[in-house]
Amino acid sequence: MTTATEPTAERTTGDAPLVELEQVSKYYGNVRALEGVSLQARAGEITCVLGDNGAGKSTLIKIISGLHGHDAGSFRIDGEETRLAGPRAALDRGIATVYQDLAVVPLMPVWRNFFLGSEPTKGRGPLRRMDVEFMRRTAHAELRRMGIDLRDVDQPIGTLSGGERQCVAIARAVYFGARVLVLDEPTAALGVKQSGVVLKYVAAARDAGLAVVFITHNPHHAYLVGDRFVLLKRGAMAGHHTRDGITLDELTRQMAGGDELDDLRHELERPEAAAPPVTADADEGRPRS
Amino acid sequence: MSTAVQAAAAPVDERLLRTSPLRRVLGRPELGAVVGAVAVFVFFAFAADSFLRASSLSTVLYAASTIGIMAVPVALLMIGGEFDLSAGVLVTTSALVSSMFSYQMTANVWVGVGVSLLVTLAVGAFNGFMLTRTRLPSFIITLGTYLMLIGMNLGFTKLISDTVSTKTIADMEGFPEAKAVFASTLTVGGVNFKITILWWLLLIVVASWILLRTRVGNWIFAVGGNEAAARAVGVPVRATKIGLYMGVALAAWISGQHLLFSYDVVQSGEGVGNELIYIIAAVIGGCLITGGYGSAVGSAVGALIFGMTSKGIVFAEWEPDWFKFFLGAMLLLATLLNHWVRKRAEATK
Ligand SMILES: Nc1ncnc2c1ncn2[C@@H]1O[C@H](COP(=O)(O)OP(=O)(O)OP(=O)(O)O)[C@@H](O)[C@H]1O
Ligand SMILES: [Mg+2]
């Protein structure tokens, strides 16, 4: 299964971050998806990447998880300049990614999904086979540990709720000894309670000594768990803060585009009058926050 | 490893009621096909007096096996999310290569059989390679291969033999042995069975083993069910798909050698249209046409339905033209039933 990738918090709490991007750029043909973005992920810390739709968040993590190569800048793992050959290479370096939409194969049973790509085997030669009993038992136990008590690990994973699916994906990353856990908007499609469950396991993974990169466009979720915040805007860095350096209000303001939000507020707060006034004095005399 | 992440004392509730056996059965992909097969069997048992004779059943099994040998890997390929329209004519290609190479180049048929294996596997690898390289739909890629193979089958045969069929190789060295392996008849308890039935059973067992018990099987379900997710967790998607096409090629080689050694000559225009029959057998057997779901056993039951229907109509002394009608109706019914069953299985989770 996994060999060289046990969480080694001791070894890496030193200086070099587990994963470091410096001035990284990525182009899709003539589309500039990322330009000069820097980020650090350290063991036992949660680095949040915030940004609007299309800001380049998914592109950023696709570089970290080996799906895309970067076009400029440097990408270091354990302080060592790297170019990943593919997702398998990232996994072998201890980087596990839970994707927004492509985390699981819906029609496959939970236990098959849990071990997909890293199936334990027994026997040799033509009799080499998956250790099905172990897989079922382990999947069930690991999920129960995360508070998901399945009636049947044979049920297709597509029949689980969105939050449960995210937790399965996180559980498997942790089980396989990831050192860096990358999560792409794990709470995006979830209700308040389910988001809470997911956030709890994000925090638990951090406490286990993993470096977590948490992508979201929800500043409230980010601020609940984050240690560092990287703000992206239209593919470029719009700010980098540590938890001590910023308040939730400020984060929300920056995330939403700050001044742009004020402008938007003006636009939306049209008077209750029937005819929308087009003159400048429309703003006057209304309570401002 | 994972002991570090402890969920806050998850309340242990023992809802582990064993799922009812009925639900388990309903969840099987081949259920629809089995129900259909029983229905067809009962129908012809009444409609044709001779249907239940051992010799008739052996004829039915033979017809089923010639389809089934191909339907098994075609089903695996479909579970892996792809089609192979070239599968039918590839059988003919395989037989032609074997026959013509033996005739032209050597005195021993086994050399031709070996060369044919390499050529056939190469065509399968070509399909898989083109698919994974270009990322075009497999429908297009294998349609191209299909047409090219039809052209080459006829073209090369005419070029080499001056007619549309090959010259007989029955008098060549190794022919009796090769015939014993690929096209002999075994007598069990006074009834004659074709050896293809054994090949078919062997393929079902091996394919089921791969699909249900090995890592590769897990990958096949995954690349068909959600290719992007499979790639993201490190499944070798390209190798899996190329392997699936080569599996189809391997079965095409077995079928092709059977074709050759049954008659000792090969008609170069044969095989066209069979690719759809393999696909139909797989679909009747519960394979989801969009991939990610199905079974090898199901495809075997689909092939059995095919064999019973095609021969049953003959035993009942009906116009054989009705066969296609039956097959079409069966396909629709089986697909509807599968659809309904899967909905039920998912609703009662
Ligand atoms: N394969 C691609 N080819 C061309 N352009 C792309 C590709 N993938 C992404 N882009 C573009 O790059 C930009 C960043 O996309 P990305 O998916 O990283 O955004 P995101 O921050 O994850 O957005 P969301 O919040 O909607 O998930 C977008 O403008 C998008 O249109
Ligand atoms: Mg995204």
Instruction: Compare A169 and A270 and report the one with higher pLDDT.
Output: A169
Task: Give the residue carrying structure tokens 């039809």.
Answer: B150
Residue of A nearest to B7 (CA): A146
A33 touches ligand 1 (CB under 6 Å): yes
User: Token pair for residue B2?
Assistant: 């994972």
**Per-residue pLDDT for B4 more than 50?**
no
Q: Which of A120-124, A276-280, B203-207, B290-294 is predicted least confidently?
A: A276-280
A207 touches chain B (CB under 8 A): yes
How far is the centre of ligand 2, averaged over its atoms, from the C-alpha of B320 (Å)?
Answer: 57
- Residue A224, domain extent: 2-105+178-288
Class of domain B33-43+50-342: mainly alpha
Q: Which of A68-72, A149-153, B220-224 is predicted least confidently?
A: A149-153
CA A5 – CA A205 distance, rounded (Å): 15
Q: Do B2 and A108 touch (CB under 8 A)?
A: no
Residue nearest to ligand 1 atom 30, measured at CA: A54
Q: Do A145 and B6 touch (CB under 8 A)?
A: yes
Assigned domain for A152 exists? no
Decide: B337 and B32 in contact? Cβ < 8 Å: yes
Distance from CA of B19 to the nearest CA of A (A): 8
A113 touches ligand 1 (CB under 6 Å): no
pLDDT at A2: 40
Number of domains in chain A: 1
The percentage of residues in chain A with a pLDDT greater than 90, rounded to a whole number, is 23
User: Token pair for residue B170?
Assistant: 């029955």
pLDDT at A46: 93
B347 touches chain A (CB under 8 A): no
User: Token pair for residue B340?
Assistant: 């309904």
Decide: B250 and B124 in contact? Cβ < 8 Å: yes
Decide: B100 and B154 in contact? Cβ < 8 Å: no
Rounded to 10 degrees, the C-alpha dihedral B316/B320/B324/B326 comes to -10
Residue A93 sits in a domain whose CATH number is: 3.40.50.300
Q: Which of A18-27, B99-108, B218-227 is predicted least confidently?
A: B99-108
CA B197 – CA B258 distance, rounded (Å): 11
**Per-residue pLDDT for B22 more than 70?**
no
Decide: A199 and A147 in contact? Cβ < 8 Å: no
**Per-residue pLDDT for A101 more than 70?**
no
Per-position b or e across B137-169, b if 16+ CB within 10 A of its CB: ebeebbeebbeebbebbeeebeebbeeebbbeb
Assigned domain for A212 exists? yes
User: How big is the A-B interface in CB pairs under 8 Å?
Assistant: 133
CA B32 – CA B36 distance, rounded (Å): 6
Helix (H, G, I), strand (E, B) or coil at A268: helix
CA A267 – CA A255 distance, rounded (Å): 19
Decide: B120 and B180 in contact? Cβ < 8 Å: no
Assigned domain for A60 exists? yes
pLDDT at B327: 81
Nearest of A209, A187, A200 to residue A94 by alpha carbon: A209
pLDDT confidence tier of residue A15, bands split at 50, 70 and 90: low
A53 touches ligand 1 (CB under 6 Å): yes
Q: What is the DSSP string of A121-155?
A: EES-GGG-EE-HHHHHHHHHHHHHHTT---S-TTS
Mean pLDDT of B47-59: 90
What phi and psi values does residue A94 have, to the nearest 5 degrees? 90, 15
How far is the centre of ligand 1, averaged over its atoms, from the C-alpha of A34 (Å)?
Answer: 9
pLDDT confidence tier of residue A142, bands split at 50, 70 and 90: confident
* Chain B residues closer than 8 Å to A129 by CB: 209, 213-214
Instruction: Compare B345 and B75 and report the one with higher pLDDT.
Output: B75
Mean pLDDT of B283-306: 91
**Of chain A residues 166-195, which have a CB less than 8 A from chain B?**
171, 174-177
Query: Hey, where are the domains in chain B?
Result: 33-43+50-342
Nearest of A190, A212, A21 to residue A98 by alpha carbon: A212
Assigned domain for A245 exists? yes
Mean pLDDT of B91-103: 94
Mean pLDDT of B3-20: 42
**Per-residue pLDDT for B21 more than 80?**
no
pLDDT at B1: 39
CA B299 – CA B311 distance, rounded (Å): 18
pLDDT at A185: 85
User: CA–CA distance from B205 to each of A175, B209, B262 (Å)?
Assistant: 33, 6, 25
The full length of chain A comes to: 289
A216 touches ligand 1 (CB under 6 Å): no
pLDDT at B202: 97
pLDDT at B35: 84
Helix (H, G, I), strand (E, B) or coil at A159: helix
User: CA–CA distance from A20 to each of A40, A246, B55, B138 (Å)?
Assistant: 4, 22, 73, 40
* Chain A residues closer than 8 Å to B217 by CB: 130
pLDDT confidence tier of residue B301, bands split at 50, 70 and 90: very high
Q: Which of B39-53, B113-127, B235-249 is predicted least confidently?
A: B39-53
User: Token pair for residue B133?
Assistant: 């390289």
**Per-residue pLDDT for A277 more than 70?**
no
Q: Do A130 and B231 touch (CB under 8 A)?
A: no
Task: Give the residue carrying structure tokens 């049209």.
Answer: A270
Atom of ligand 1 nearest to the CA of A62: 18
Nearest of B5, B38, B124 to residue B305 by alpha carbon: B38
Q: Which among A86, A129, A209 has the least Cβ separation from residue B214?
A: A129
Q: Model's pTM, two decimal places?
A: 0.81
CA B106 – CA B169 distance, rounded (Å): 11
Mean pLDDT of A88-101: 84
Select the residue from A108, A110, A137, A160 to test the B interface by mutation, using most B Cβ atoms within 10 A: A108
- Which ipTM did the prediction report? 0.81
pLDDT confidence tier of residue B344, bands split at 50, 70 and 90: low
**Per-residue pLDDT for A240 more than 80?**
yes
Mean pLDDT of B112-117: 96
